[in-house]
Amino acid sequence: MGTRRWARFAGLISLALALSACAPSAPAPGGGSSAGGGAAADPKRGGIFTIASRSAPSSLNPYVGFGLPEEITFAGTVYETLLTLDHDPTKDMRIDKQIVPNLAESWEANGPTTFTIKLRKDVLWHDGKPFTADDVVWTFTYVYDPKNALKARGFIPSYEAATKVDDNTVKFTLKYADPSFIQQLADRRTMMMAKHVIDEGGSYDKTVVGTGPFKLQSYDQVAGASLARWDQYWDKPKPYLDGWKVLYGLDNSAQVAGYISQQLDVYSTTNKGELDTILAAAPQSNQRTSAGIFNNSMYFNLSKPPFNDVRVRKAIHLGVDRQALVRGIADGAGVLGPPGGISGLMKKLAIPETEFLQWPGWAQPKDPDYAEAKRLLAEAGFPNGLTTSMTVPSARITSGKIMEAVTGQLKQIGVTMELRPAEFGVYAQAEASGNYDMVPILIGDPENQNKPWFNFFHSKGTTNPFIRNPELDKLIEDFEIASDDAQKVQIARKVQDIIYKEMYAAPTIDLPNWNVWQSWVTDYSMNWGGNAYAYNPRSIWFDKAKGMPSRSL
């Protein structure tokens, strides 16, 4: 953490510890309801929502620099999507999905591969210029141009072209029938960008012009970002808040202290001790626990030894004791990662836990797995074990915590795995280029299971430099266009079987997420994947009767 930021929060950390020492050890959360701070008659204007991030974006371009959840929150206050999900704070949006208009006011399917989108006519960019079909066409052309090498290019694999019909109408053409296309337009990672910024010689690396409820006022990679209410926002009378602040460079202890001292409005943790500290000091907080969406998996460089040998990959898989991870670092509340590159949350598609718990790698006790792992390593030419490395994004706390524990487990089979922390931008570049031995990947998407399959396991995937399996490619493509649920389940099983058989990725677990937000924060639609960021910044409001602090941008 930077010196400026540490000086500011050092006293808060001491305060947090003092408060927790004086409070009951196991309080029940009180205050408002889990729906977001309790119901009041009508939303009220006022207040500055404040959130923290461990690091600043590597770029202000939303398709380049915004990789961490907190960074996506920043982007989501400024940039918007054509469609969105109905954010009911009481529902798990990963399961209960209802697509509603956003920058687009309507949509129509003209056939299996053609859609017409009607845009709102009352939307302005933050510099006062109108949002039109030209911006939509430019955004999709930019994102899906291969020379730009953007990871977002894999979000809608079926996309072929966007064409302007008139100023407020866009026609989308797909490569193949894709039942999930409209849902993908509601994905928070398909943000619209202003064409005129580039036409006028600007750069999105330095310029932030969106249509969202908040307009960037100041940005500093150390001090943070301040965003002011956009008074000409199209969805009146929203937004209700006067502004939004993001503080950079705060580690977990500083964020806990900042929350307890009421300088932060939300916090999320995978550390039960941190939750207990917060609720002891701030028992009025709203709190919700959610199972993580991701299958934190070990992804191998197949282009060189030792991981071009499936026997080594299988040995690594056998060396991981997932149940011990759940007991040891997840307080017994973690989610076992199923085989086949899929999140355990996808109950309808994933191989059932009752089945895979009998398989090597999950079955208990582990002694047979350890013996088989050593045999495979010896057969592959490593009778005395091997030394390897894993490049880990330093800001991705959950991945680091899991892989640190896995490092200790792998010693049981003679494998030494060195963890190499990397700043997120460096990590993203390594992940895309394949410059690593292993990396941790987050497999899971609440909006479309095929995205992680395509990105990580299809030969044209944006983060797959190595896997070339025509049979798997065809199955992933078939899954994308299948409209019948039974057919999807059948194809999904075949995909998972191949990924498991070839051990393209070794699953581990996901940690539970304990989310808290202040009693005055109302209509807060949390990220059910567990990170402290909001899906609905325009709808959040502060209940002044519940002790809302006075803040300024």
Q: Is residue 285 part of a domain?
A: yes
170, 117 contact by CB (below 8 A): yes
226 with 283, same domain?
yes
362 with 503, same domain?
yes
What span, in angstroms and rounded, lies between the C-alpha atoms of 515 and 533?
10
The residue among 199, 230, 247 that closes a domain is: 199
| 86: its two tokens | 């109905």
Question: Measured between alpha carbons, how far is residue 179 from residues 153, 215, 482, 551 in Å?
Answer: 18, 34, 8, 46
440, 402 contact by CB (below 8 A): yes
537, 49 contact by CB (below 8 A): yes
In the three-class reduction of DSSP (H, G, I as helix; E, B as strand; rest coil), residue 208 is classed as coil
pTM above 0.85, yes or no: no
Q: Is residue 552 part of a domain?
A: no
**Residues whose CB is less than 8 angstroms from the CB of residue 76 and which lie 6 or more positions away in sequence, other chains included:** 188, 191, 212, 533, 534, 535, 537
519 with 506, same domain?
no
CATH code of residue 394: 3.10.105.10
Report the number of distinct structural domains present in the chain. 3
280 with 229, same domain?
yes
Spell out the alpha helix ranges (H) of 158-203: 181-185, 195-199
pLDDT of residue 72: 63
- Residue located via tokens 């701070």: 37
Q: Is residue 275 part of a domain?
A: yes
For 382, other C-beta atoms within 10 Å of its C-beta total 21
pLDDT of residue 93: 63
pLDDT of residue 96: 66
Q: Is residue 259 part of a domain?
A: yes
Q: Is residue 205 part of a domain?
A: no
| 44: its two tokens | 């009220």
pLDDT of residue 117: 98
187 with 234, same domain?
no
Q: Is residue 176 part of a domain?
A: yes
Q: Is residue 206 part of a domain?
A: no
| 392: its two tokens | 């880990």
Which pLDDT tens digits describe the chain residue by residue (553 residues)?
443 343 444 444 343 434 333 333 333 333 333 344 444 468 999 999 999 887 787 788 888 865 555 556 678 899 999 998 887 767 666 666 788 999 999 999 999 899 999 999 999 999 999 999 999 999 999 999 999 888 788 778 889 999 999 999 999 999 988 878 898 898 877 899 999 999 999 998 889 999 999 999 999 988 899 999 999 999 999 999 999 999 988 888 999 999 999 999 999 888 889 999 999 999 999 998 877 778 999 999 999 999 999 999 999 999 999 999 999 998 888 889 999 999 887 888 999 999 999 999 999 999 999 999 999 999 999 999 999 999 998 877 788 899 999 999 999 999 999 999 998 778 877 877 889 999 999 887 655 677 789 889 999 887 888 999 999 999 998 988 887 889 999 999 999 999 999 999 999 998 888 889 999 999 887 655 544 456 789 999 999 999 889 999 8
233 with 302, same domain?
no
389 with 313, same domain?
yes
Question: Measured between alpha carbons, how far is residue 302 from residues 438, 505, 521 in Å?
Answer: 9, 11, 47
| 421: its two tokens | 């922390």
Structural domain range at position 116: 92-199
What span, in angstroms and rounded, lies between the C-alpha atoms of 377 and 313?
9
Give the length of the chain: 553
- Residue located via tokens 């191989």: 351
What span, in angstroms and rounded, lies between the C-alpha atoms of 111 and 176?
11
